Amino acid sequence: MKEINRVKKYREFKEILDLRKFKRNEIFTLYYRKNEFGYSRVGILVTKKNGIAVKRVKIKRQVRSIVDKYLDYKNCGLDIIIVISKKYNTEEFSKNENLLKDLILKITSIKE
Protein backbone atom coordinates (compact mmCIF):
# COMPACT_ATOMS: atom_id res chain seq x y z
CA MET A 1 0.00 0.00 0.00
CA LYS A 2 1.53 3.29 -1.08
CA GLU A 3 1.80 6.25 1.27
CA ILE A 4 -0.73 8.25 -0.75
CA ASN A 5 -3.34 5.50 -0.24
CA ARG A 6 -3.33 5.72 3.57
CA VAL A 7 -5.56 7.63 5.96
CA LYS A 8 -3.31 8.84 8.76
CA LYS A 9 -4.68 11.93 10.44
CA TYR A 10 -6.88 11.65 13.51
CA ARG A 11 -9.29 14.22 12.08
CA GLU A 12 -9.83 12.15 8.92
CA PHE A 13 -10.32 8.95 10.93
CA LYS A 14 -12.88 10.73 13.09
CA GLU A 15 -14.81 12.15 10.10
CA ILE A 16 -15.10 8.72 8.48
CA LEU A 17 -16.09 6.97 11.71
CA ASP A 18 -18.65 9.67 12.58
CA LEU A 19 -20.53 9.09 9.30
CA ARG A 20 -21.53 5.63 10.59
CA LYS A 21 -21.70 4.00 7.15
CA PHE A 22 -20.27 0.54 7.68
CA LYS A 23 -20.29 -3.14 6.85
CA ARG A 24 -19.39 -5.73 9.48
CA ASN A 25 -18.65 -9.40 10.04
CA GLU A 26 -17.27 -11.29 13.05
CA ILE A 27 -13.69 -10.01 12.68
CA PHE A 28 -13.75 -6.81 10.60
CA THR A 29 -15.77 -3.61 10.57
CA LEU A 30 -15.30 -1.39 7.51
CA TYR A 31 -16.36 2.25 7.75
CA TYR A 32 -16.42 4.05 4.42
CA ARG A 33 -17.27 7.25 2.59
CA LYS A 34 -16.83 8.67 -0.89
CA ASN A 35 -13.90 11.03 -1.32
CA GLU A 36 -13.09 13.76 -3.79
CA PHE A 37 -9.58 12.54 -4.63
CA GLY A 38 -10.54 9.97 -7.26
CA TYR A 39 -8.44 7.27 -5.62
CA SER A 40 -9.05 5.16 -2.54
CA ARG A 41 -7.40 5.57 0.85
CA VAL A 42 -7.34 3.02 3.66
CA GLY A 43 -6.75 3.33 7.40
CA ILE A 44 -6.25 0.34 9.69
CA LEU A 45 -7.26 0.47 13.33
CA VAL A 46 -5.82 -2.19 15.67
CA THR A 47 -6.26 -1.70 19.41
CA LYS A 48 -4.10 -2.91 22.29
CA LYS A 49 -6.69 -5.61 22.96
CA ASN A 50 -5.25 -7.44 19.94
CA GLY A 51 -1.96 -8.05 21.73
CA ILE A 52 1.53 -6.70 22.06
CA ALA A 53 3.04 -4.33 19.49
CA VAL A 54 4.73 -7.09 17.49
CA LYS A 55 1.41 -8.89 17.01
CA ARG A 56 -0.44 -5.66 16.09
CA VAL A 57 2.16 -4.86 13.44
CA LYS A 58 1.84 -8.38 12.02
CA ILE A 59 -1.94 -7.94 11.84
CA LYS A 60 -1.53 -4.64 9.99
CA ARG A 61 0.90 -6.23 7.51
CA GLN A 62 -1.51 -9.08 6.82
CA VAL A 63 -4.48 -6.74 6.38
CA ARG A 64 -2.50 -4.44 4.05
CA SER A 65 -1.57 -7.39 1.84
CA ILE A 66 -5.21 -8.48 1.61
CA VAL A 67 -6.37 -4.94 0.81
CA ASP A 68 -3.70 -4.56 -1.88
CA LYS A 69 -4.89 -7.79 -3.46
CA TYR A 70 -8.62 -6.99 -3.61
CA LEU A 71 -9.06 -3.20 -3.64
CA ASP A 72 -8.66 -1.23 -6.85
CA TYR A 73 -7.23 2.04 -5.56
CA LYS A 74 -7.60 3.96 -8.83
CA ASN A 75 -11.26 3.38 -9.63
CA CYS A 76 -13.05 3.34 -6.25
CA GLY A 77 -12.63 6.82 -4.78
CA LEU A 78 -13.42 5.67 -1.23
CA ASP A 79 -11.98 6.37 2.20
CA ILE A 80 -12.07 3.15 4.20
CA ILE A 81 -11.27 2.52 7.86
CA ILE A 82 -10.76 -1.14 8.79
CA VAL A 83 -11.37 -1.85 12.47
CA ILE A 84 -10.04 -5.24 13.55
CA SER A 85 -11.61 -7.07 16.49
CA LYS A 86 -9.67 -8.99 19.10
CA LYS A 87 -10.97 -12.26 17.59
CA TYR A 88 -8.46 -11.86 14.74
CA ASN A 89 -6.07 -14.83 14.64
CA THR A 90 -2.85 -14.33 12.67
CA GLU A 91 -2.57 -18.08 12.10
CA GLU A 92 -5.84 -18.27 10.10
CA PHE A 93 -4.80 -16.04 7.20
CA SER A 94 -6.96 -17.66 4.50
CA LYS A 95 -10.12 -17.36 6.65
CA ASN A 96 -9.31 -13.72 7.41
CA GLU A 97 -8.62 -13.08 3.73
CA ASN A 98 -12.00 -14.45 2.67
CA LEU A 99 -13.89 -12.43 5.29
CA LEU A 100 -12.16 -9.17 4.39
CA LYS A 101 -12.44 -9.85 0.65
CA ASP A 102 -16.21 -10.24 0.95
CA LEU A 103 -16.55 -6.92 2.78
CA ILE A 104 -14.32 -5.07 0.31
CA LEU A 105 -16.31 -6.39 -2.63
CA LYS A 106 -19.60 -5.35 -0.98
CA ILE A 107 -18.35 -1.82 -0.36
CA THR A 108 -16.83 -1.30 -3.81
CA SER A 109 -20.02 -2.47 -5.52
CA ILE A 110 -22.11 0.22 -3.74
CA LYS A 111 -22.85 3.19 -5.97
CA GLU A 112 -23.61 6.40 -4.11
Q: Is residue 21 part of a domain?
A: yes
Q: Is residue 111 part of a domain?
A: no
Q: Is residue 38 part of a domain?
A: yes
What is the extent of the structural domain holding 78?
3-105
Contact between 37 and 73 (Cβ < 8 Å): no
pLDDT string in tens for the chain (112-residue length)? 787 888 888 998 899 999 888 999 999 999 999 988 888 999 999 999 999 999 999 999 999 999 999 988 888 888 999 999 999 999 999 999 999 999 999 998 875 5
The structure's pTM equals 0.90
Domain CATH number, residue 59: 3.30.230.10
Contact between 100 and 85 (Cβ < 8 Å): no
**Counted domains in the chain:** 1
Q: Is residue 43 part of a domain?
A: yes
Q: Is residue 110 part of a domain?
A: no
Q: Is residue 112 part of a domain?
A: no
